[in-house]
Amino acid sequence: MSADPASRPGRLGVGVVGAGRVGAVLGSALRAAGHPVVGVSAVSEASRERAAALLPGVPVLDVPEVVRRSELVLLAVPDDALAPLVRGLAGTGAWQAGQIVAHTSGRFGVDVLGPARAAGVIPLALHPAMTFTGTSLDLSRLVGCTFAVTAPAPVLPIGQALVVEVGGEPVVVAEDARPLYHAALAHGANHLVVLVAQAAQALREAGVAEPGRALRPLLDAALDGALRAEDASGDGGPGAIAALTGPVRRGDAGTVADHVAVLSALGTSSGAVDVPAGYGALARAAAARALGAGLVGPDAAQAVLDALAGIIGAPAALHEGDERPGEGPDGPPGTGPAPQDDGGTPPQEDA
């Protein structure tokens, strides 16, 4: 029989600031590892419901009281809210010497915790490289998830140990590399969603009733192949581009020209000018990377680039009153002001 996790040495009283999709899930994971959660801040109805579901029995408190009770403070708030929150708490003398303060922002390292460090806290930056639903489903997905860990060298093992305890795999990211690290993840994950949205819109215009169903096996195979190629290439290898298929990889400029024509027409008729512009940008990048990896020759790559020359571009800015592609005047469902939490600070809803 395994020992109760709460009986392990080194358990910490955890306070969660921001019961968004990230904070509530990580708080639950730390609790499962034996760390008692002593308080959570949650003002909006959605956050209170999430706290009740993932952290049952944990008292909902205001932020200063959460901090006062905690040995480990988990700050799970949006990037732009993090620095003002840390400064505000420092201004009220809330931070305690020896307290561990960890934030979950991908963008920042520990410099953003400077005002808390001045009070003697142990600073950690722990960012899980995954998207969150804010439900118990996320707990199993933490297993094997990469966490970027940034901390001063003497306390780096504390951050790494916390990540291991929730089932993650710690990867050390230097302070000055955090913005590039986060940009890479956002480009890969967030823009993948945009790519799917664009492809789905084009399929729908082509008469495909269920674009998601049509795309799933193709995209699953393409993503799996790209990631396998990246893992197999090692340093100096071609990387993910080795898995490239399709007309650019074949140097099939005629097909690319046809794509340019029909997607430009779609952009003109529907206003979705981001679709041909996105296709053009990615096809140019594909040609350049395929050429660099020796997958296509210079003549074939140039023929593809020539075929892309006339593609229409997206507008430089959205103007008031413009409707985004596929949206009505009120935007897509679920948009609108973010629910306020923690005395005006919304919780972090994704990593």
Q: Where are the domains of the chain?
A: 11-173, 180-307
CA distance linking residue 208 with residue 22, whole number of Å: 35
Tokens of 57: 């029995």
Greatest CA separation found in the chain?
68
Q: How far is CA 270 from the centre of its chain?
A: 30
Q: SS3 for 306?
A: helix
pLDDT reported for residue 10: 75
pLDDT reported for residue 331: 33
Specify whether the CB–CB gap between 57 and 193 falls below 8 A.
no
pLDDT tens track, the chain, 351 positions: 455 676 676 799 999 999 999 999 999 999 999 999 999 999 899 999 999 999 999 999 999 999 999 999 999 999 999 999 999 999 999 999 999 999 999 999 999 999 999 999 999 999 999 999 999 999 999 999 999 999 999 999 999 999 999 999 999 999 999 999 999 999 999 999 999 999 999 999 999 999 999 999 999 999 999 999 999 988 888 999 999 999 999 999 999 999 999 999 999 999 999 999 999 999 999 999 999 999 999 999 999 999 999 886 544 444 444 443 443 323 333 333 333 344 456 666 665
In terms of Cα–Cα distance, which of 342, 254, 265 is closest to 77?
A: 342
In terms of Cα–Cα distance, which of 2, 61, 1, 51 is closest to 31?
A: 51
Specify whether the CB–CB gap between 89 and 15 falls below 8 A.
no
pLDDT reported for residue 311: 82
Instruction: Indicate the Cα dihedral angle 100, 145, 21, 32, nearest 10°.
Output: -60
CA distance linking residue 13 with residue 272, whole number of Å: 51
- The CATH number of 11-173 is 3.40.50.720
DSSP letter, residue 60: B
CA distance linking residue 105 with residue 113, whole number of Å: 11
Whole-Å CA distances, 304 to 195, 248, 264, 313: 20, 7, 16, 17
Give the predicted TM-score (pTM) of the model. 0.84
CA distance linking residue 33 with residue 167, whole number of Å: 9
CA distance linking residue 334 with residue 265, whole number of Å: 30
The beta strands (E) that lie in the chain are given as: 14-17, 37-41, 72-75, 100-103, 122-128, 146-150, 169-172
pLDDT reported for residue 324: 39
Tokens of 58: 């944990």
Specify whether the CB–CB gap between 277 and 314 falls below 8 A.
yes
Residue with tokens 């495909």: 208
